[in-house]
Structure 1
């Protein structure tokens, strides 16, 4: 088949088409509708006599401008979809490891450390209740379980909370999640 510059051609075995830009022996360079220059062998191309210029292609100038106009129009706002797993993530984390609470635990007895940790937990829980935060995770670590037992005793004194082990995949065994009921009537 005889080709000449500016002929509109289709590429065999691929979904490509375009105008011939140059011919060098058996290698023909075409410019696709998208503006890319690609080289093909003459046997890979077929002349398309029904198409004479780019304006009759899939994206003519008229259709391209109408697509751009449509995209620029203000439309419905898309709401951000929150995955169910993220929706139920705790909103507040409190790390009760002693090195997170004080600059140095040097010179502190075990009782002093435990008291500091419990006072912090009580303060954070009261603050969360006042700010209407629904979930808190207290990270206490595994250890011997003394802090965890003391925290459970502390949480048991509140009538508007329930507590349970936090997400094992995220925290392991060393965390307790507290759920605060928001609509508790006080007598």
Structure 2
């Protein structure tokens, strides 16, 4: 892949040089500062020293560029049927990126606790305001948040829950039904 005299640059470092020798997957280069350094083949990138514009243009694959520019065909979806008077259920996204502006410095325990407390707050609000159905979007991931949410929902007597509509949410959401007591 590399041969003696090729100009190369090192990936992830600001080092350029010329190939002095190659052995198996290792390439020794002389840097612009005169140092001899050895790198693996996958750490180097050959620099094209051709300044001729026509040479560069000839290397462009026009078919590949045209394919990238193509507008993708819209996917067909089966539309979910709703009754005319049905109001869509409120959705609450429990992804941490939606709950806090910056999660840096938060441990996994802190994140899960915040997500659980947020879900609990929304459940309590729905019960108080007699909202019959809500949806929690938890994502697929490793299933830890879903398990925590299932545990939380199981502690309420007046709540039933199930996986939300697959066509609309995929596997990453839970539908919660709040049974209304006639007071």
TM-score of the aligned structures, taking structure 1 as reference length: 0.52
What are the Cα deviations for residues 34-74 of structure 1, in whole angstroms up to 9, with x where unaligned? xxxxxxxxxxxxxxxxxxxxxxxxxxxxxxxxxxxxxxxxx
What are the Cα deviations for residues 60-91 of structure 1, in whole angstroms up to 9, with x where unaligned? xxxxxxxxxxxxxxxxxxxxxxx745655642
**SS across alignment from 1:152:** helix
| Inter-partner Cα distance in structure 2 for 1:89 and 1:164 | 19
Count of residue correspondences: 103
Q: CA RMSD in A?
A: 1.7
User: Can you give the 5+ residue segments of structure 2 that lack an aligned partner in the other structure?
Assistant: 1-80
Q: What is aligned with 1:113?
A: 111
Matched, 1:161 2:159: yes
| Inter-partner Cα distance in structure 2 for 1:86 and 1:118 | 34
Matched, 1:95 2:93: yes
Q: What is aligned with 2:53?
A: none
| Inter-partner Cα distance in structure 2 for 1:164 and 1:155 | 10
| Inter-partner Cα distance in structure 1 for 2:165 and 2:130 | 22
TM-score of the aligned structures, taking structure 2 as reference length: 0.53
Matched, 1:133 2:131: yes
Alignment of structure 1 residues 10-89 onto 2, 5 Å:
84-85=82-83
**SS across alignment from 2:168:** helix
What are the Cα deviations for residues 3-56 of structure 1, in whole angstroms up to 9, with x where unaligned? xxxxxxxxxxxxxxxxxxxxxxxxxxxxxxxxxxxxxxxxxxxxxxxxxxxxxx
In structure 2, relative to structure 1, the CA distance for the partners of 1:159 and 1:177 (3 Å cut) is same
**SS across alignment from 2:124:** helix
**Cα deviation, residue 121, structure 1:** 0.1
Q: What is aligned with 1:4?
A: none
User: Can you give the 5+ residue segments of structure 1 that lack an aligned partner in the other structure?
Assistant: 1-82
| Inter-partner Cα distance in structure 2 for 1:90 and 1:179 | 13
| Inter-partner Cα distance in structure 1 for 2:154 and 2:128 | 18
Comparing 143-152 with 87-96, greater Cα deviation is found at 87-96
